[in-house]
């Protein structure tokens, strides 16, 4: 490995050793006006969080909101993520792309509580050859506290890379965000399984032989909310999360029922039959290891939920809105089987 790599990893070790740093208090306590505005911005409405029967709790996925820097805010000098980003920028890895965001909530926050956050450098892995260019995966870990009580954790992973060519953003290409945007704009957590079938194109390179050097394999993130789904596909079952108390079916999976708020959940096995609600013909940008175009469908399952997945065995001109489709399973390797859709 190069001197540059050794320096990067030495810096990573030093910054990791700082542990939880860059501690910040939320600008305001958890408050109802911000909850109201956030619900509107997200297009959500729930009597649990707003209105006469509101419980005084905040939606858990607002965790980041309470400790955002505010317009024009800057991370503190000792921020481990930004320290690591600077090291990589100085080494020529100038571009950044968000890849994963995983949040864990310990409990609901309540109006009036004061939240603080810390940041730690969780890991630095690389160099890796990716479709975007050579880079390092940098994972940071935020922890939110009320007093000494841990209330939420977020693992956030970015790819910090050397762009292969001039950094021209092609139409439809994933956005390359500036570091500063990463610091000042908190995004809501990435939906997990909803995105999984969309990213599958990148995961289809055969794993029995080494992939081409520039193949960027994206895999769906598995966590406590989604593991059952991927266990299902591996077993040839298409599983839909269900709320045990009220029976509501939901997709993508999540920790709480959007109807009744209950955390107690199970799953049902779908028939695998559905109809095409909508679709796109993906012609650009290129997908490593795949011949374009590929067809991505939004499928209405007969159980009443919608899933995104590849439509296989069809030409673009053959697809029709409302056409019946049947799930099939494409085994990638021991760890991943993807659901795909064929004409019924
Ligand atoms: Zn429910």
Please report, rounded to a whole number, the percentage of residues in the chain having pLDDT higher than 70.
84
Residue 335 alpha carbon to ligand 1 centre in Å: 30
Residue 240 alpha carbon to ligand 1 centre in Å: 14
d(Cα 262, Cα 160) in Å, to the nearest integer?
A: 39
Of 216, 218, 200, 215, nearest in space to 294 by CA: 200
Judged against a pLDDT cut of 70, whether residue 121 lies above it is answered with yes
Residues 199-249: tens digit of each pLDDT: 333 333 333 333 333 334 467 878 888 999 999 999 999 999 999 999 999
Residue 202 alpha carbon to ligand 1 centre in Å: 34
Residue 258 alpha carbon to ligand 1 centre in Å: 7
Of 123, 211, 127, nearest in space to 161 by CA: 127
- Cis check for the bond before 252: say yes or no (omega within 30 of 0): yes
Judged against a pLDDT cut of 60, whether residue 107 lies above it is answered with yes
Residue 305 alpha carbon to ligand 1 centre in Å: 15
What pLDDT, on the 0 to 100 scale, is given for residue 218?
61
Residues 259-302: tens digit of each pLDDT: 898 999 999 999 999 999 999 999 888 877 778 899 999 999 99
Set out the domains of the chain in order of their start, with CATH numbers: 1-161 (3.10.129.10), 226-343 (2.40.50.840)
Enter the pTM of the model: 0.54
How many CB atoms are located within 10 Å of the residue 58 CB? 24
Residue 266 alpha carbon to ligand 1 centre in Å: 11
d(Cα 48, Cα 54) in Å, to the nearest integer?
A: 5
Residue 261 alpha carbon to ligand 1 centre in Å: 6
Residue 259 alpha carbon to ligand 1 centre in Å: 5
């Amino acid at each position: 490995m190069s001197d540059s790599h050794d320096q990067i990893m030495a810096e990573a070790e030093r910054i990791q050793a700082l542990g939880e740093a860059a501690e910040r208090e939320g600008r305001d306590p958890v408050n109802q006006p911000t909850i109201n505005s956030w619900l509107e911005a997200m297009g959500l409405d729930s009597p649990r969080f707003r209105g006469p029967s509101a419980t005084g709790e905040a939606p858990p996925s607002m965790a980041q909101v309470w400790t955002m820097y505010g317009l024009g805010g800057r991370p503190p000098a000792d921020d481990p993520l930004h320290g690591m980003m600077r090291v990589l920028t100085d080494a020529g890895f100038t571009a950044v792309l968000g890849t994963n965001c995983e949040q864990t909530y310990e409990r609901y926050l309540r109006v009036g509580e004061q939240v603080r956050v810390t940041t730690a450098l969780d890991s630095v892995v690389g160099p890796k050859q990716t479709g975007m260019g050579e880079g390092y995966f940098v994972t940071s870990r935020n922890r939110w506290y009320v007093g000494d009580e841990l209330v939420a954790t977020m693992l956030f992973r970015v790819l910090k890379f050397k762009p292969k060519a001039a950094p021209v953003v092609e139409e439809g290409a994933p956005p390359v965000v500036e570091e500063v945007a990463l610091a000042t704009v908190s995004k809501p957590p990435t939906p997990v399984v909803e995105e999984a079938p969309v990213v599958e194109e990148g995961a289809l390179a055969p794993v029995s032989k080494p992939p081409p050097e520039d193949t960027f394999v994206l895999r769906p993130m598995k966590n406590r909310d989604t593991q059952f789904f991927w266990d299902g596909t591996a077993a040839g079952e298409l599983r839909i999360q269900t709320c045990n108390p009220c029976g509501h079916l939901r997709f993508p999976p999540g920790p709480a029922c959007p109807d009744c708020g209950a955390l107690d959940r199970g799953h049902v096995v779908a028939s695998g039959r559905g109809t095409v609600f909508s679709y796109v013909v993906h012609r650009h940008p290129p997908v490593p290891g795949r011949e374009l175009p590929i067809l991505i469908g939004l499928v209405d399952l007969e159980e009443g939920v919608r899933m995104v997945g590849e439509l296989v065995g069809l030409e673009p001109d053959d697809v029709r809105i409302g056409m019946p489709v049947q799930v099939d399973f494409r085994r990638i390797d021991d760890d991943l089987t993807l659901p795909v859709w064929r004409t019924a």
